[in-house]
Structure 1
């Protein structure tokens, strides 16, 4: 039996992400098949585009947690439908799969993930004793699918989405088998580059998969005439990854959309793409961006530049200078 990368899209907007994801996997030379699960929310034109990029496009019925209370805590009412992700266990034509959210991007070859066993996933940046369900290794099984569905109906999800459900179902992940803990580099959430810049500066070059979590997705980002992404200050460190996403989209996905009815059907959603001037990039995975200049504001919001003026050696130097001035007085 064969192995496959699997993703899910429930509407035309996320389909843009899925198409770019497929492009990135082919770019890094994967030898596995590409599968996209789709629901009725995906239009016919977009469906045709997906069939050009993926080896298999599989229609599935939507599932929804209908858990407004927990979804409100996340401020993400759209995540209830991510329960549909559970359908991936029904793909029994494959012996092993790696699930990828449609808002991730492969930066380098990572087929070695298929050497991992179920259920392997990377720690979540927000709560490391939980895994992030944007990337995980699994073995399709109707028995597992039935058990997860039963568990969902009886227990539900502590966050209203698939991540809370799967963390509860695979509850021994934090402590039972460390070999099922994927390195963070296989699912680096974009926000981590802001919250722990020193680690990103050191390990960023090893990142294999980047995950654009949150409500602002790459396909919703605007670029100015100089090719600079119009993003908030907390996202500046993801600039190179966003630019790579847009390079792949502009070169291979956008022309396909423009030729198909998908672009016409979703013109309102993608009208900014038609006037987008794609920035120029190198073809290789982007290196970590240079650390920003440290400022008082960085300290006040808890994000000083630990590689620059806030480095340990510089702090010691400042202390020594201060003590020397006091001694001289």
Structure 2
């Protein structure tokens, strides 16, 4: 059996949906190596059983929290503190070399050649290319390295409060020391393509090997029509609509039937969907919940259901259906009502 492994992390049942789809995307791509997932205590037993079906190793780890509220505030992403838990990946010493993948990544093509790289190899971050993005990186498990990084974290913290800021501080020579440790961007392409690289996304999309749903948009939060199995991709992600649909295709083919109502969060809710069937009131209610979450996350379908015309139509219908107020009662001659 291979001594190399793909490694990811999940901290709850909802995020485990991403880990399950990621595992199946790796299998579909024909990887020759093992799969390992780190889980925190908040992942339910029901979900762990499903993870064990597709991962060679499912290992529980404790939550490491940066407790760096000031720096996390800069990103308005306080939940990133627990991403320090990612450091536990260095403790998987049963493997010689690993590639870490965030659970919100999707493998589109075989990437086994990444194991030819050395620690710490990663792709440049789209927002600051002199830093690497920690959603995908090659490393060598080592208890010594784990100890050194955690000690460094205590002494120096992280410039963004999360694992990416910490790892860029620790591996601070990445930008200048060895070009071989710079992975091509196709191994960690952000799904959100800003105007400055949207043309390049379109030009090189067939070469993309790993897509990363970085940021607040996660494929499992995108509106989904269970009847026709189609994802309702927000307008600003239209360039990646087919890739988002690919995530949902894997979910429908390989993940959905394995879910149960014993799971927490969206995983439990998704288990109740009846794919390819006429939507029930329960499914309608679920999809409305998903739509609300999209709104709260700023993912609004301005050109579709959430267009001004549709919103105004809904407001008008609500106002017209509201009963007219009863006229006030006239007082009787005695002065009582």
Q: Structure 1 length normalisation: TM-score?
A: 0.80
> 2:122 — aligned with what?
121
CA apart distance, 1:24: 0.3
The answer for the alignment partner of 1:242 in structure 2 is: 244
Q: 1:255 corresponds to which residue? A: 257
The answer to whether the 8 A contact 2:13-2:263 is kept is no
1:216-238 deviation line (CA, Å, top 9, x unaligned): 21111112466553343222212
Show the counterpart of 1:274: 272
Write the deviation string for residues 286-318 of structure 1: whole angstroms up to 9, x where unpaired.
xxxxxxxxxxxxxxxxxxxxxxxxxxxxxxxxx
Partner secondary structure for residue 234 of structure 1? helix
CA distance in 2, matches of 1:254, 1:15: 12
RMSD (Å) for aligned C-alpha atoms: 1.8
Question: 1:79-228 counterparts in 2 under 5 A?
Answer: 79-192=80-193, 195-224=196-225, 228=230
Deviation at 1:26, TM superposition (A): 0.3
Counterpart of 1:14 in structure 2 is 15
- Cα deviation for residue 276 of structure 1 reads 6.5
Q: Cα distance, 1:10 vs. partner?
A: 0.8
CA distance in structure 1 between the partners assigned to 2:45 and 2:264 by the alignment: 11
C-alpha separation between the residues in 1 aligned to 2:63 and 2:26? Answer: 26
TM-score (norm 2): 0.78
Q: Is the 8 A contact 2:262 2:268 kept in 1?
A: no
- Shift, 1:195, TM fit: 4.1
Higher radius of gyration, 1 or 2 = 2
In structure 2, what is the equivalent of residue 67 of structure 1? 68
Matches of 2:258 and 2:229, distance apart in 1: 22
* CA-CA distance at 1:193 after TM superposition: 6.2
Residue aligned with 1:274, SS:
coil
Aligned residues: 275
Q: Secondary structure at the match of 1:58?
A: strand
Alignment of 1:286-325 (within 5 A): none
Q: Secondary structure at the match of 2:130?
A: coil
Find runs of 4+ consecutive structure 1 residues off by over 4 angstroms: 225-228, 267-270
Question: Displacement of 1:275 after TM fit?
Answer: 3.2
Q: 1:268 to 1:34 in 2, by over 3 A?
A: closer
In 1: Cα distance, 2:17 partner to 2:229 partner? 20
Question: Is residue 152–residue 165 contact of structure 1 (8 Å, CA) maintained in 2?
Answer: yes
SS at match of 1:264: coil
2:56 aligned residue: 55
Shift of 1:241: 1.1
Conservation of the 8 A alpha-carbon contact between 2:257 and 2:271:
no
Q: Deviations over 1:103-145 (max 9, x none)?
A: 0000011100000000000000111111000000000011111
| Deviations, residues 41-75 of structure 1 (Å, cap 9, x unaligned) | 10110011111110010111110001112112112
Structure 2 unaligned regions, length at least 5: 277-337
Q: CA deviation at 1:6?
A: 0.4
Aligned equivalent of 2:263: 265
